[in-house]
Amino acid sequence: MRLVICALLGLLLVGCAGLTRGQNPRMSPPAFDPALVLPIVKWPPEQPRPLTAADAATAATSSLAAGATEPAAFRSDGAVLRQIATPWTAADGDIAPLLARMQATLLHSGGVGIAAPQVGVPRRVFLVKHGTRPPGQPTRIVAYINPQVIWASSETIEDYEACLSVHGVGGQLPRAEALRVRYQAADDLSGPPREVDASGWDARIFQHELDHIDGQLYIDHVAHLGRSLLPIDEMRKQRDAIHRKRGLLPEQPG
């Protein structure tokens, strides 16, 4: 298992370096070990939270022991999704086991991003799978440690989202069309922060994952707008129709 963790982390480290502005490396498809997959923490879709200062409650201390690699070290209660996650620090130990498990869980799920709270760890860490829209691009999974938005466009764009932690539904909401994120790289946690620019679909993934580390879910935004959630199949149909119009998916053959 240690060799698999090292291989997975190596891919994540290359991705972090590669997405610094001005660089764009080629990456091999990530390895996958089902033994590393963790359960995804769930939240009921019928229980959105108001977007108020009450969401700024103090985060509980993580139950992740330093260097732990077993599922018993991770929380499974939904409350972890409603905490403001705390930064990853040297006191948390080696980040490699967590990143390896998060990547395996993301690959197993078929999703495009995952945040540490979704596997029961209230830390400001998430992964983004880049290159999923439009299809046909090389995909790469990149780890973002202690990320923060340093700029976001005033222009917004409407689109549909779903969530690995909210089963069976999706909803439409606006997000900033572009943003710049400052973060620490997994291969250089003590070094200077890096920056990445994202736009369009990737920018939406970033904002979805940033919500997770701030104790929010996309369903909170949908409820705040007075909109309804859709069954997941209907949401995908609506989303894909929009993406075809925007050139993010190929047109269906007539």
Which residues are catalytic, by number? 209
Rounded to an integer, what distance in angstroms lies between the CA atom of residue 180 and that of residue 151?
A: 5
Name the 3-class secondary structure at 113.
strand
Q: If residue 159 lies in a helix (H) or strand (E), which one and from where to where?
A: strand 156-163
Helices (H) and strands (E) in the chain, counts: 5, 8
Q: What SS3 class is residue 168?
A: strand
Backbone phi, psi, residue 246, to 5°: -90, 0
Secondary element (H or E) of residue 149: strand 140-152
Q: Phi, psi (5° rounding) for residue 152?
A: -140, 140
